[in-house]
Each structure stands twice: as C-alpha cells, then as structure tokens.
Amino acid sequence: MMQRIRKTRAGRKLLANRMALGAMLIIGVYLAAAIFVMLGGISPSFCNQPVGPPNIPGFFAEAPAEKRLVNAENTLAVVDRALAKSTPESQQASLDEIQVGLRKLEKISLDDFELKLEKAYAIYDDLSASPDLENDESGLALLADLESEVESLTATPTFSQQVMETIYLSLGTDRQGRSIFIRAVFSIKVAVQIGVVTAMISVAIGSVLGALAGFFGGWVDHAVIWLYSTFSSIPNLVLLVVLAYVFSSINVEIFGKAIGQTLIPVYVAFCCTFWIGPCRVIRGETLKIKELEYVQASTTAGFSPVYTLLRHVLPNTIHLMLINFSLLLIGAIKSEVILSFLNLGVQAGAGASWGIMIRDSRSEVLNSFFWQIGAATTLMFIFVLAFNILSDALQDAFDPKHV
C-alpha cells in the first residue's frame, strides 16, 4: 500500500508535506476516537448521565467558593431528604439509591449518617454567616472541612473508579453535571459519522451524474445541469428546516428509533445540496478527458462507451473525488454544528454533538463558565483545520502544475 502511494507523484508529494502528515496524524486520532465510540466505548445515554456536581471547572481547578458551598449543600440535602423518610426501611432504600457523582454512599448505619449530617450542617450554618466567602480565610478553611465531611459520606472509591473520575472530570461538567470530556469525545463520532456518510454519498451521486453528463452530453447533460441548477437555488439551511419538520412529523421507525430522532434527516438534507459541487467539477473534468486521445483510442479499439467511461475516464477523476470528499466532509461537519445549535440537527436522543454543547453553554457563558463551549469549539476547530490542511495538501499534490 505504502509503496504504491510512493510510486505515484502525488503520493510522494503528499508524504513530503509535513503539514499534511501532521494533519493526517490529527485526523487519525479523531478517527480512532470515533471508532472507539462507535464500538460502544461511550453510549449515547451515558453522555446524558450526570457524573458529578454541575459546572465544576476542568483541569481539576477549584470552583469558586460560592459554587463549592452550593454543591456541598446539595449533596447534604439529598441525604437529608432520604433520612426524612418515615420508616427505617424506606430510609435505607433511599440511601442505597443515592449516588454522588460516580460514588455510592458509604455502608454505615442510619444513626451514623444522622451524626455526620448534623456535624456537616453545623459547619454549613457557620459558613452561611460569612458575607464574603471568597476572601475569608477562616471561612475557606471551614469550607474545606465541610467538603471533607461531605466526602466522608461516600464510599472510598476503588482505583478504577478514581481513574474514571479523573477522566470524566478532566474538562469539568456542564449544568446538569454531565462530563464535558465524554460529551465532546462522543461528538467526534457524530461529526465524523455525518461528515463521512454525507461526503461519501454526495461525492458518489455527484461523480456518477457529473461523469454521465460530461461524457454523454446531449439531453443527459441538459437534464443534469437542470437538476443541479434547481437544487443549488434552494438554500441549504432552509431545505434542512423543511426536511427536519417533515421527518419529525412522519411516524416511521428505523432501528427502533423514530426517524426524526436519528441522523437520517441530516443526511438527506445535506446530500440533496452537497452533491452539486463534485458534480460540477467531475462534469468539467470529464468534458476535458473525453476529448483526450486515450479515450479516442478506446473508441477506435471498439470498446463500449460505458466501458470507456468506467475504465478510462472515471479513474482519472479520482483526485477530484478525493479533494471534494475532504472539502465536503468539513462542510458537513460545520453545517451539522450550526443545525444542532438551532435544534434542527442532531437530537438529544442521539447523544451529544458540538452544536448541542454550544447551545447548552449559552447560559453558562453568562456565568463565566467557558469549559463546555471551549471544549466543543476547540475540538471542532482542530478537526476542521486539520482537514483543511489535508485538502489543501491533496490539491497541491494532485495539481500537475504545482511543483
């Protein structure tokens, strides 16, 4: 494989381009992440499951003191509510259900819980009196005490639990306590899936129609030109809005999900407009190639037009298909983010998406919490940038005039 690539001029140029190699490495990492998610590494429901207190910052930074106090109080309130149940059995049952982040409560007697809770609330009452917690040293010391009290309510985590917690909380949590890291990584799979599927289908449709139009000319050409002029006059987003509504109103189930909850409306809407680009390019190239002498030689040898098209014309447009594929892939990912932001693309049931994350982070940004929007946009930025560099490099590599 590698040797075949090295044998071609374009392949050598691509491998000599360091930017392209770097971009390919990054894309490889993203693809690996996408495949990991696809193989069941992260389920869509897990994306939507809280793993810790809400809005804790990433890189294990300390949350503002106010926030820490509220989080500690929330945990205490949950335990308090469980202990307020009428019978000891129901109290125990409620306590068993409580989970603080990933941790279960410690297995101690109800009386011990009462004692711990009382102690914690005593510290909490002291703290609440403090007017300016952030700059109050004794207050901060008390807060640390309170947090250790709250932590002592929960069972000591096992080593694997600790590792998981480290990973899940590495980029913080969102307003519902869901792991930003997990959601951002899951979104890679959604983005890659939408990008690859739409780019492949669009390039396939565009290449076939473009090649037929260019090669056979006449009414086929007129029909294809009419078709793509018509489709390109429909604004992409408007078509998508229409399709999103249409799909959400029809009751068809695919793989046990309502069709509106899957990615199918997104695929259909993107493919409807995305095939136009490759179609134009491939048609133009086919027009050029079909006048070349090796195509005429194929005719004088007696080969059928369809054979000539498949054997001599299409293989010489592969570079354009590749370039268009990488361009459309970026286009699809960017459009998907915009649509999900507008609540028209990926639905919550399908897991997470960068667009959904950016939408969710609107209220957080007002509270100076940038971790969610930061994670989503950074991952998208790197991915799109890497693909842009790659498609540029592809274009350079395949351009015979570029040295």
> Interacting stretch for another protein, rule CB under 8 A, among 71-79, 269-277, 296-304, 346-354?
296-304
Residue 387 three-state SS: helix
**Nearer to another protein (CB atom), residue 189 or residue 290:** 290
**CA-to-CA distance for 213 and 222, rounded, in angstroms?**
8
Report, in Å, the least distance between residue 222 CB and another protein.
8
The one among 6, 9, 12, 81 contacting another protein by CB under 8 A: 9
Footprint of another protein on 310-369 (CB under 8 A):
311-312, 315-316, 318
- Between strands 253-254 and 257-258, the pairing is antiparallel
Q: How many CA atoms lie within 13 A of 202 on its CB side?
A: 34
Q: Is 302 in the site for another protein (CB under 8 A)?
A: yes
Please give the structure tokens belonging to residue 238.
């408007």
Nearest CA to 150 among 60, 61, 71, 54? 71
Burial class (CB in 10 A: 0-12, 13-18, 19+), 182: buried
Residue 40 interacts with another protein (CB under 8 A): yes or no: no
Q: Which of residues 119-178 bind another protein (CB under 8 A)?
A: none
12 binds another protein (CB under 8 A): no
Which of 128, 135, 304, 378 lies at the binding interface for another protein (CB under 8 A)?
304
Count the helix, strand and coil residues of the chain and give each as a percent rounded to the nearest 5: 75, 5, 20
Q: Is the dihedral of CA 274, 276, 277, 283 positive or negative?
A: positive
Using rule CB under 8 A, residue 283 touches another protein: no
Q: Is 290 in the site for another protein (CB under 8 A)?
A: no
Does position 296 interact with another protein (CB under 8 A)? The reply is yes
Beta-strand (E) ranges in 119-259? Answer: 253-254, 257-258
Beta carbon of residue 6, minimum distance to another protein (angstroms, whole number): 13
Least Å from the CB of residue 318 to another protein: 8
Q: Does 219 bind another protein (CB under 8 A)?
A: no
Q: Which is nearer to another protein, 229 or 367 (CB)?
A: 229
Window 240-279: contact mask with another protein (x via CB under 8 A): ----------------------------------------
* Residue 221 dihedral angles phi and psi, to the nearest 5°: -60, -50
- CA distance linking residue 266 with residue 395, whole number of Å: 28
Instruction: Identify the residue among 36, 46, 231, 303 touching another protein (CB under 8 A).
Output: 303
Q: Which is nearer to another protein, 16 or 19 (CB)?
A: 16
Cβ–Cβ under 8 Å, residues 49 and 178: yes
Nearer to another protein, 245 or 294 (CB): 294
Q: How far is CA 42 from CA 35, 38, 46, 77, 375, in A?
A: 10, 8, 6, 31, 17
- Candidate ranges 236-244, 248-256, 294-302, 345-353; the one touching another protein (CB under 8 A): 294-302
Half-sphere exposure of 393 (CA within 13 A, CB side): 20
Does position 36 interact with another protein (CB under 8 A)? The reply is no
| Beta pairing partners, 178 | 50
Site size for another protein (CB under 8 A): 17
| Member of 250, 301, 366, 403 binding another protein (CB under 8 A) | 301
Which stretch in 57-65, 150-158, 186-194, 291-299 sits in contact with another protein by CB under 8 A? Answer: 291-299
Residues that bind another protein (CB under 8 A): 9, 292-294, 296-297, 299-304, 311-312, 315-316, 318
